[in-house]
Copies of this chain bind each other. A is one copy, B any other.
Amino acid sequence: MNNIQQGLNIAIVGATGAVGVQMLKMLEGTSLPISQLKLLASKRSVGKTYSFKGYPIIVEEVKPDALEGVDIALFSAGGSLSKELAPEAARRGAVVIDNTSAFRMDPDVPLIVPEVNSEALREHKGIIANPNCSTIQMVVALEPLRQQYGLNRVIVSTYQAVSGAGHTAVQELKQQTEAILQGEAPKVGKFPHQIAFNAIPQIDTFQDNRYTFEEMKMINETKKIMGIPELHIAATCVRIPMAVGHAESVYIELDQEISVEDALRVLSNAPGVMVVDNPAQLEYPMPVDAVGKKDVFVGRVRKDPDEKKGLHLWIVSDNLLKGAAWNSVQIAEALVQLKMVTI
């Protein structure tokens, strides 16, 4: 693809990863004016070819020079690479949209879910952080309720797919599953324990307070994105044997009482939310139905039996799309809309 038309020079850093390949797909579907697209990855992926709107694009090695002239760089190649190269890219004039946890809690870095806080983009200093997958889908569903009824408490338990841990994690689930079906012992590698036909109550490393880093991401990032530092929020994050699609059982307490009907109405009108909540027809969101879709699906909406201001929700989304690639591309679109990037 040559720079023959006016438009953006975009780079995907980590283009061959589970999220990177979805970023490419999401860019294909966007209305962003793209004049040049660079696919950057580690040395061993150099030379691989991907198709973008019919054009073949060859993967190049990720290094500082490759980021020269880039307008928007979408990073998804691990926290240490982001820490090293995102400031380099920003110094060269790119706006970095970083999908790792490297900069999310940095007070100088906006942490953005466009449906919730795109205005915070105006404060960016070259690096913008894309939140954790399980956080994004939750705040998209909670923000519209919070706007009308106030929010003071969240207790979430997650049901997370393995693809959040990359291609090799999906392969490991498949291989372990095949081994068990054939009566063989499953080989453990990517996860600390067998994930096939199991549930592992640990995602990312343990912190001193006995919460995992994934749980602390949900707690801290939700407060930052929603701008409610005083929010009472706790999380339990669990990996279960699914390839794609995170689900969440979420309890919230609002400032005011709300009926199920009002909650469903507010959610139905909310950007990025699709309500699937028809108990009579056994309809509710499920990971297999969310795969490949950009929406956040909400269902099982019901009042707490005892707490008048309490509501229970079941929130599902494709962790690679709204949880990662699509949210990053949405941030790029918002930058253009807000004229924060000039074409």
Mask: chain A, 256-293; 1 = CB below 8 Å from B; 0 = not: 00001000000000000000000110101111100000
Inter-chain contacts of A299 with B (CB < 8 A): 201
Alpha-carbon gap, A211 to B285, bound state (A): 15
Alpha-carbon gap, A241 to B236, bound state (A): 19
Contact stretch, chosen from A64-72, A127-135, A192-200: A192-200
Q: Does A28 contact B (CB under 8 A)?
A: no
Select A243's contact among B197, B210, B219, beta carbons within 8 Å: B197
Is there an interface contact between A193 and B286, defined as CB atoms closer than 8 Å?
yes
Is there an interface contact between A199 and B236, defined as CB atoms closer than 8 Å?
no
Which of chain B's residues has its CB closest to A231's CB?
A: B306
Q: Does A174 contact B (CB under 8 A)?
A: yes
Q: Does A341 contact B (CB under 8 A)?
A: no
Select A181's contact among B174, B197, B251, B310, beta carbons within 8 Å: B174
Select A286's contact among B198, B251, B284, beta carbons within 8 Å: B198
Instruction: Specify the main secondary structure of chain A where it touches its partner.
Output: mixed
Is there an interface contact between A202 and B305, defined as CB atoms closer than 8 Å?
no
Which of chain B's residues has its CB closest to A299's CB?
A: B201
Within 8 A of B (CB), among A205-247: 206, 209-211, 219, 232-234, 236, 238, 240-243, 247
Given contacts A177-B181, A210-B302, A241-B240, contact A192 B260 (CB under 8 A): no
Q: Does A22 contact B (CB under 8 A)?
A: no
Copies held by the complex: 2
Is there an interface contact between B236 and A249, defined as CB atoms closer than 8 Å?
yes
Q: In whole Å, how far is A194's beta carbon from the nearest beta carbon of chain B?
A: 6
Select A241's contact among B210, B242, B279, B312, beta carbons within 8 Å: B242
Q: Does A304 contact B (CB under 8 A)?
A: yes
Which of chain B's residues has its CB closest to A313's CB?
A: B236
Q: In whole Å, how far is A262's beta carbon from the nearest beta carbon of chain B?
A: 14
Q: Does A326 contact B (CB under 8 A)?
A: no
Inter-chain contacts of A305 with B (CB < 8 A): 209, 211, 219, 232-234
Q: Does A75 contact B (CB under 8 A)?
A: no
Q: Does A157 contact B (CB under 8 A)?
A: yes
Q: Does A112 contact B (CB under 8 A)?
A: no
Q: Does A300 contact B (CB under 8 A)?
A: yes
Q: Does A109 contact B (CB under 8 A)?
A: no
Given contacts A159-B240, A177-B177, A300-B210, contact A284 B202 (CB under 8 A): yes
Within 8 A of B (CB), among A174-192: 174, 177-178, 181, 192
Inter-chain contacts of A202 with B (CB < 8 A): 282, 284
Chain A contact residues, CB within 8 Å of chain B: 153, 155, 157, 159, 174, 177-178, 181, 192-194, 197-202, 206, 209-211, 219, 232-234, 236, 238, 240-243, 247, 249, 251, 260, 279-280, 282, 284-288, 299-307, 310, 312, 314
8 pairs, CB–CB < 8 Å, chain A vs chain B? A159-B238, A197-B242, A201-B285, A201-B300, A209-B305, A211-B302, A232-B304, A240-B240
Q: Given known contacts A174-B181, A206-B282, what 7 new A-B pairs fall within 8 Å (CB)?
A: A197-B243, A199-B247, A201-B286, A210-B302, A233-B305, A236-B312, A238-B249
